[in-house]
């Protein structure tokens, strides 16, 4: 077993056999790990499309059924990671920075909302206000 260290992040891993690139080095061997080697690089659109097709081909109905059944059989593996409160309730008590507020304001400037959207916003705000008043 040989120990290999990534010079960029410092992660260590072991390899079973001596590789050709190790012949010019002494222990501990240094070689950049895959995540570090991709830092700052992007895939071309063609490569992204190929990776997407590969991922879609691997999602067979049998595999999806297996994953679903596994999640049902082993809820202890994932249920503890769920957030207790979802939606707008999870941000209660937190505030946006002035910079974030300015970005939100700039992105909303000039937008025209439909009557349906305005009604939904109004309903949501009334619900929030009534909850705040009852507390």
The DSSP annotation for 50-88 comes to HHHHHHHHH--HHHHHHHHHHHHH-GGGTGGGS-SS-GG
List of residues 6+ apart from 33 with CB closer than 8 A: 6, 8, 9, 11, 13
Domain ranges of the chain: 2-37
| Residue 85 confidence (pLDDT) | 52
What pLDDT, in 10s, does the model give residues 66-92? 989 998 898 887 776 665 555 555 666
The answer to whether the CB of 2 falls within 8 A of the CB of 18 is yes
Q: What percent of the chain has a predicted confidence (pLDDT) above 70?
A: 90
């Amino acid at each position: 077993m040989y120990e290999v260290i990534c010079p960029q992040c410092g992660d260590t891993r072991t390899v079973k056999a001596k590789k050709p690139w190790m012949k010019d080095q002494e222990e501990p061997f240094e070689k950049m790990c895959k995540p570090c080697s991709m830092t700052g690089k992007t895939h071309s659109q063609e490569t992204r499309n190929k990776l997407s097709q590969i991922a879609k081909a691997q999602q067979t109905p049998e595999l999806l059924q297996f994953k679903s059944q596994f999640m049902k059989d082993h809820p202890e593996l994932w249920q503890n990671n769920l957030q207790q409160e979802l939606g707008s309730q999870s941000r209660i008590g937190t505030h946006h920075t002035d910079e974030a507020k300015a970005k939100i304001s700039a992105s909303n400037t000039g937008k025209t909302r439909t009557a349906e959207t305005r009604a939904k916003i109004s309903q949501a705000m009334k619900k929030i206000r009534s909850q705040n008043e009852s507390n």
